[in-house]
Structure 1
Amino acid sequence: MLKKFYKVFIAPYTLYVLYLMFLGMGRYQFEDNIVRLEPVFSTIRFIEGTISWKDIVVLILGNVIMFIPFGFLGWAFPRLIELKSLVFTFMSAITIAEGLQYFTRMGVFEVDDIILNTFGVYIGWRICKWIERKLSV
């Protein structure tokens, strides 16, 4: 039952996440293409330059929490049951999405986003494995 629900849930959820990445949360098209390749330090600089804790929480926790459901992709796509294949596939997809943000100028290509999003997928995968063990799903 849980896996069936997930299979129905994940497609609209993916569209919602893509909407947020490209159009949501007051996004606008930047004048220049922006890329931030320096891991961790660009997020630290953002935190130092941000007064609002809400913005910090939305940026960091949002980039992790929003991607936890993708850790369950093995339920919809059995080839993604193993962590290695899931992470490789997800990192490829999120890198393409970040690249599209760069080329459309509807966001910033950020290595930190890829890292945080992938960490969210890893947490989701761990939760998925825990659920499978506890509930024999």
Structure 2
Amino acid sequence: MLKKFYKIIIVPYMLFLLYLMFWGMGRFQYDDHLITVEPIFSTLEFIHNTIGWKDVVIIVLGNVVMFIPFGFLGWIFPQFKDLKTLLYAFISSIVIVEALQYFTRMGIFEVDDILLNTFGVYLGWLLCKLIEKKFSRLVL
């Protein structure tokens, strides 16, 4: 039952995320192509320079939490039950999305986003395994 719901909701969810990544949350087209390649330091600098904790939670925690559902892709594509395969495919995909943000100037190519999004997928994969183990009769 859970798998059926997931199969129905994941594509609209993915489209919603793409909307947020390119047009949502007050996005605009930058004048220049922007890239941030210093892992962790740019996020720490963002946290330090942000006045409101609400912004920190929305941006930093959101970059993790919003990608947790992709850890369940093994329910649709059995090859993604393997963590290595899932992460390889996800990292390849998110690098393409970040590159599109860079080339369209509708965002910033940020290595930290890739790391935080990938951590979210990993947490989702762990949660998926836990759900399958504890609630196997509900998942099918």
Report the TM range for the smaller structure's normalisation: over 0.9
Question: Alignment identity in percent?
Answer: 65
In 2, Cα distance between the equivalents of 1:76 and 1:19? 23
Query: Would you say how many aligned residue pairs link Structure 1 and Structure 2?
Result: 137
Runs of 4+, deviation exceeding 4 Å: none
Structural mapping, 1:39-118, within 5 Å: 39-118=39-118
Aligned partner letter, 2:45 = R
- Which string of whole-angstrom CA distances, capped at 9 and with x for unpartnered residues, describes residues 48-97 of structure 1? 11111111111110000000000000001111111000000000000000
Query: Is residue 2:132 matched to residue 1:135?
Result: no
- Which string of whole-angstrom CA distances, capped at 9 and with x for unpartnered residues, describes residues 2-49 of structure 1? 111101110000000000000000000000000001000011111111
The residue matched to 2:26 in structure 1 has which SS?
Answer: coil
Residue 7 of structure 1: aligned partner:
7
- If the length of structure 1 is used for normalisation, what is the TM-score? 0.98
In 1, Cα distance between the equivalents of 2:50 and 2:5? 39
In 1, Cα distance between the equivalents of 2:55 and 2:98? 20
In 1, Cα distance between the equivalents of 2:128 and 2:20? 24
In 1, Cα distance between the equivalents of 2:31 and 2:61? 27
Unaligned ranges ≥5, structure 2 = none
- If the length of structure 2 is used for normalisation, what is the TM-score? 0.96
**CA positional deviation for 1:119:** 0.3
Aligned partner letter, 1:61 = L
